[in-house]
Structure 1
């Protein structure tokens, strides 16, 4: 665990990422999210083909959702698309249990404390999750603030355990 997680343990039990968020993956993900470049999405899918489910006891995969306005502006929800691909590959149900109930400013460029404040009461659970081990899926983990807020919401709704899987992880200290 990183120093931040030792000082403030996250509500999720584990986190894994396919790759570090650095060149060229950072450019690829930015092209995909910011420009809707489906060629970049196909390149990301190449990374996914080699991924094995790290938690064999997982009951379902849950995307970390974007707010409906962001989905509308972007034209898609990258986490939902990523989760659908992994659910098929890992043969686990896709359970869209979370809803982002209020729009939040972009997290990019914010300090960890600002990110935490930004995400207070941002999520609500909209499906039963009692007793389930859920894998929360997102594209990038930077400080873990979004994953913490979403995992806390799922656990408060009765999930037995929440693990986090992201395509990329920002290296510590960035």
Structure 2
């Protein structure tokens, strides 16, 4: 049996074992760290895919088009004749902040295949038509909070049902607007 009698000096074997352990740790740590940070990337992709498919299906069913944040901002910056409607509750949302120039008309989150005044804060189909105006070709943009919110889908679907031809849903809504760093308006 061989024994290294000088304990103050690391043995040759101990040095290489420590070097191997350190090297393995340096290789494994980044992999385990990225697994910890991004471990749900595959599950998140399934969720993103489902949101995208739902948005596509709603758009096809509703008969409207989609518009993104940059295009809504460009419409406003260029003074285009567009009516922007916030489909969220007045007191809890619109009053606090909304896209500048937007008007408010409440729609429910869940599907509303038949008009229901109780779901639109007592407002009627005629009230909605009056807000939209008589020009059936005017550009209409509907938004709510975020992509999963169904309020803008209901509003855009109803505009199409009422015969409007230039109907857009802005799915990112107020979250995307704020995420892009654009200013909001409020009601005092």
Fold in common (TM above 0.5): no
TM-score bracket, normalised by the shorter chain, equals 0.3 to 0.5
TM-score, normalization by structure 1: 0.45
Per residue, is there more helix in 1 or in 2?
2
